[in-house]
Amino acid sequence: MIEDQNEKVYRLFDLRVELIKLADKPGIMSAYELVAKELGCSTSEVRRWFTSEDNSSFRAPPREKAIWDYLECVSGYRLDRNLYHPKPDFWD
């Protein structure tokens, strides 16, 4: 099966819209606070995950299964952890 070349790759930056809906509060910082609370991370660490990848403050989420399970679930499984951590089965 050949993938559509025009199909946009879903990235962490794109997930911000779903996070705002999930937080059910206006503003992206409320969404970051919710994710931080759910995952036991700092809000500033979470904010870096969703910064544009062109920005020097961007950091990919760590290679922790629980974090990636959560992010993929919130994205409706459009986000692929292998895009950021291409090692196969690194959490198995």
SS3 annotation, 32-62: HHHHHHHHCCCHHHHHHHCCCCCCCCCCCCC
Which is more confidently placed, 57 or 91?
Answer: 57
Which is more confidently placed, 10 or 6?
Answer: 10
Q: Based on C-alpha coordinates, what's the Rg of the chain?
A: 13
Cβ-count burial 52-89 (b if 16+ within 10 Å, e if not):
eeeeeeeeebeeeeebbeebeebbeeebebeebeeeee
- Quick one: pLDDT at residue 8? 86
pLDDT, tens digit, 9 for 90 and up, residues 11-60? 999 999 889 988 888 889 999 999 999 999 999 999 999 999 999 999 99
Residue 7's pLDDT band, with cuts at 50, 70 and 90, is: confident
The structure's pTM equals 0.83
